[in-house]
């Protein structure tokens, strides 16, 4: 059952939900509709006349306190009785507040970082973004499968093994050789080398023939580290898919491309995907002159595998530096006989991390990047998630860790948690929660508007998922918390004439904050 108030208004008017929206100016009411403009076509009536007719039909509805027409728009102010119905239902629904059923099947791929080092703060942003989308989608009834694509084929894995090999040579065996510039740096490589040396002994570093085995071993160690970091952040995946394992299907995928006239070979014996015929800026190499497939070939195999699993929709979250890959991958999907319109690619920008106004100091352990686990453990993963979700993922984000130590409205994490904890403390002081069935008949001092805003959570989470913008939830939670703080400062609660009614409103506010945070993978604080 849908729990959005706008759906009930639309049903009452026999309109599509898209025709009911919040007005830009709250003075016009809680919701409005421009339906009169569409209904006036071919009738000979002006939109304003039709709007007046709609008002006349709805004046006696118990849903509305007032219905007014203004320039063809119909504005609705909801009645307290109607809002009370939603408030009571929300409190009984509890963790199902805002939930729906009957959505699409969605395969959501995110993070997919190369297992050649620990996850860094840039990966963390994509991880948080993807996890929030998955949680929101599932709450709205979509069957979301989360997936991590392990890039474990190609040169980068061989280079990881080579890095471990030469670290052992230079640091553990004391050989006077130069550490190759192209190899991975950071203390974590030294740690891998020491662990490999302790496990396999000196013989494992006798010749470069052992690098292949070291590569596979080191890749698995890095993947375990990545999984541990994600687990600490409470970010879970349904599937981990190995690129290396998928390559056994290259010949079959290649034959489909050949059958569809998607490939050609140039004079240098490079094999190209004719992606320019499907909207790409140029054709792309899929097999090098030495017969080794390129990175794009792996992407093609993987997306063929995805579409064979027959999801309704596919969403990829990629780093912004992969923008150029979108057209070529979509071209390949078309050549494979699938509808590339079912694939969405969302981009996640990098993060600039500060501490005390200065760039955050890099960790020796990681090399030249800031590890996700280092920041997560310093400020807490819940704070990290909230801050990362305060802006669109495709825009640059800069934040100062010292901001999260402040206990005021400049720290959004503190501000929202304090609102939730404030209500929890009030109920604890009273020794009880309010009676859910208390009828709301008399609310003043802005309590009705506070209740209305708390009941907008279902609208917000639906828009956040459908637009792929979970930052709409953090923005809503910050504003709802501000309304709660202002009401608390301006109004007496305990001992007021309508105490029990206000407590019921507070219970809905608490539920909305708790649910909103939960759907972002964040635990609301009950004490501060």
- The pair phi, psi for residue 521, each rounded to 5°, is 80, 25
Q: Based on the domain organization, do 447 and 512 belong to the same domain?
A: yes
Residues 280 and 361 in one domain: no
Residue 445's nearest CA partner among 488, 399, 409 is 488
- What is the model's pLDDT at position 365? 54
Domain finish residue from 33, 61, 78: 78
Say what the pTM is: 0.94
Residue 230 shares a structural domain with residue 364: yes
List residues bridging with 64 in a β-sheet.
Answer: 78
Q: Where are the alpha helices (DSSP H) in 341-470?
A: 372-379, 381-388, 412-430, 447-454, 457-466
Residues 361 and 316 in one domain: no
232 located within any domain: yes
Q: How far apart are the C-alpha atoms of 407 and 412, rounded to whole Å?
A: 9
DSSP structure class, residue 523: P
Q: Could you report the per-residue pLDDT of 286-331, keeping only the tens digit for each?
A: 999 999 999 999 999 999 999 999 999 999 999 999 999 999 999 9
Determine the Cα–Cα distance for residues 212 and 162; give it in Å rounded to an integer.
8
Query: Are 231 and 243 found together in one domain?
Result: no
Total number of domains constituting the chain: 4
Residue 62, judged by CB atoms within 10 A of its CB (0-12, 13-18, 19+), counts as exposed
Examine the domain organization and report whether 232 and 153 are in the same domain. Answer: yes
Convert the pLDDT of each residue in 54-84 to its tens digit.
888 887 788 999 999 988 999 999 999 999 9
Q: What is the pLDDT of residue 367?
A: 66
Answer yes or no: is 44 within a domain: yes
CATH of the domain at 440: 1.10.730.10
Q: Confirm if 233 and 385 have CB atoms less than 8 A apart.
A: yes
The verdict on 315 and 375 lying in the same domain is: no
* Residue 121 domain flag: no
What is the tens place of the pLDDT at every residue in 82-127? Answer: 999 999 999 999 999 999 999 999 999 999 999 999 999 999 999 9
Q: Given pLDDT bands bounded at 50, 70 and 90, which one contains residue 363?
A: low
Residue 381: inside a domain, yes or no?
Answer: yes
Q: Are residues 54 and 193 in the same domain?
A: no
Last residue of some domain: 52, 78, 104?
78
CATH at residue 202: 3.40.50.620
pLDDT of residue 41: 87
Q: Are residues 380 and 289 in the same domain?
A: no
227 and 244 share one domain? no
Per-residue pLDDT, 139: 98
Q: Are 58 and 51 in contact (CB under 8 A)?
A: no
Look at residues 32, 52, 78 and tell me which one is the last residue of a structural domain. 78
Q: Cα-flanking dihedrals φ and ψ of residue 67, to 5°?
A: -135, 125
pLDDT at 364 over 70: no
User: Rounded to whole angstroms, what are the CA distances from 244 to 30, 155, 268, 272, 291?
Assistant: 54, 12, 26, 21, 16
Whether residues 306 and 431 share a domain: the answer is no
Q: Which of 151, 122, 118, 147 is nearest to 222 (CA)?
A: 118
Any domain includes 106: no
Q: What is the pLDDT of residue 314?
A: 98
The answer to whether 111 and 124 have CB atoms below 8 angstroms apart is no
Does 124 fall in a domain?
A: no
- pLDDT band (50, 70, 90) for residue 2: low
- Work out the percent of the chain whose per-residue pLDDT is above 90: 81
pLDDT tens column, 411-448: 999 999 999 999 999 999 999 999 999 999 999 889 99
| Residues near 482 by beta carbon (within 8 Å), at least 6 away in sequence | 409, 415
Q: Is residue 101 part of a domain?
A: no
CATH code, domain with 63: 3.30.1360.70
Burial, 305: exposed, middle or buried (Cβ in 10 Å; 0-12, 13-18, 19+)? middle
Evaluate whether residue 86 is within a structural domain. Answer: no
Q: Of the candidates 344, 315, 353, which has an alpha carbon nearest to the alpha carbon of residue 124?
A: 353
Domain range for 353: 149-236+349-402
Mean pLDDT score across all residues of the chain: 93
Q: Please answer whether residues 335 and 86 qualify as being in contact, where contact means their C-beta atoms are separated by less than 8 angstroms.
A: no
pLDDT tens digit sequence for 465-506: 999 999 999 999 999 999 999 999 999 999 999 999 999 999
State the Cα–Cα distance between residues 374 and 366, nearest whole angstrom: 10
Tell me the longest C-alpha to C-alpha distance in the chain.
92
Kindly state the tokens that stand for 443.
Answer: 């609310």
Is there a single domain that holds both residue 315 and residue 358?
no
């Amino acid at each position: 059952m849908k729990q959005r108030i706008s759906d009930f208004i639309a049903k009452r008017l026999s309109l599509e939900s898209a025709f009911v929206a919040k007005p830009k100016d709250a003075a016009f009411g809680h919701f409005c509709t421009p339906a009169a403009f569409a209904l006036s076509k071919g009738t000979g009536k002006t939109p304003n006349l039709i709007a007046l007719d709609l008002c006349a039909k709805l004046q006696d509805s118990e849903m509305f306190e007032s219905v007014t027409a203004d320039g063809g728009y119909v504005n609705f102010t909801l009645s307290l009785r109607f809002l009370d119905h939603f408030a009571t239902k929300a409190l009984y629904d509890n963790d199902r507040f805002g939930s729906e059923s009957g959505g699409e099947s969605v395969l959501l791929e995110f993070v997919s970082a190369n297992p050649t080092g620990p996850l860094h703060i840039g990966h963390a942003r994509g991880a948080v973004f993807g996890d929030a989308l998955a949680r929101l989608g599932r709450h709205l009834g979509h069957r979301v499968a989360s997936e991590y694509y392990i890039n474990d084929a190609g040169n980068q894995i061989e280079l990881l093994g080579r890095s471990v090999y030469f670290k052992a040579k230079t640091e553990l065996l004391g050989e006077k050789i130069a550490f190759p510039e192209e190899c991975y740096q950071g203390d974590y490589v030294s740690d891998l080398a020491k662990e490999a040396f302790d496990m396999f002994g000196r013989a494992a570093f006798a010749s470069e023939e052992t690098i292949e085995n070291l590569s596979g071993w080191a890749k698995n160690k890095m993947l375990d580290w990545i999984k541990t970091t994600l687990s600490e952040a409470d970010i879970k995946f349904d599937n981990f898919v190995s690129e290396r394992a998928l390559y056994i299907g290259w010949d079959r995928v290649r034959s489909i491309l050949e059958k569809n006239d998607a490939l050609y070979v140039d004079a240098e014996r490079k094999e190209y995907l004719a992606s320019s015929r499907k909207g790409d800026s140029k054709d792309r190499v899929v097999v090098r002159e030495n017969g080794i497939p390129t990175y794009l070939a792996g992407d093609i195999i993987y997306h063929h595998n995805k579409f064979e699993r027959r999801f309704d929709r596919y969403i990829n979250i990629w780093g912004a530096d992969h923008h150029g890959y979108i057209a070529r991958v979509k071209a390949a999907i078309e050549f494979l006989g699938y509808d590339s319109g079912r694939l969405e690619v969302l981009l996640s920008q990098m993060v600039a991390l500060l501490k005390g106004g200065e760039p955050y100091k890099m960790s020796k352990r990681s090399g030249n990047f800031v590890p996700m686990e280092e920041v997560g453990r310093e400020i807490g993963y819940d704070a990290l998630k909230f801050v990362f979700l305060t802006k669109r993922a495709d825009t640059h984000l800069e934040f100062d860790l010292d901001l999260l130590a402040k206990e005021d409205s400049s720290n959004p994490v503190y501000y929202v948690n304090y609102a939730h904890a404030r209500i929890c403390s009030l109920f604890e002081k009273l020794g009880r929660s309010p009676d859910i069935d208390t009828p709301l008949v008399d609310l003043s001092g802005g309590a009705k508007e506070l209740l209305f805003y708390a009941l907008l959570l279902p609208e917000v989470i639906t828009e956040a998922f459908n637009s792929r913008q979970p930052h709409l939830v953090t923005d809503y939670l910050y504003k709802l918390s501000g309304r709660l703080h202002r009401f608390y400062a301006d109004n007496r609660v305990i001992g007021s004439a309508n105490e029990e009614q206000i407590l019921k409103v507070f219970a809905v506010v608490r539920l909305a904050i708790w649910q909103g945070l939960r759907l972002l993978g964040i635990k609301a604080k009950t004490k501060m």
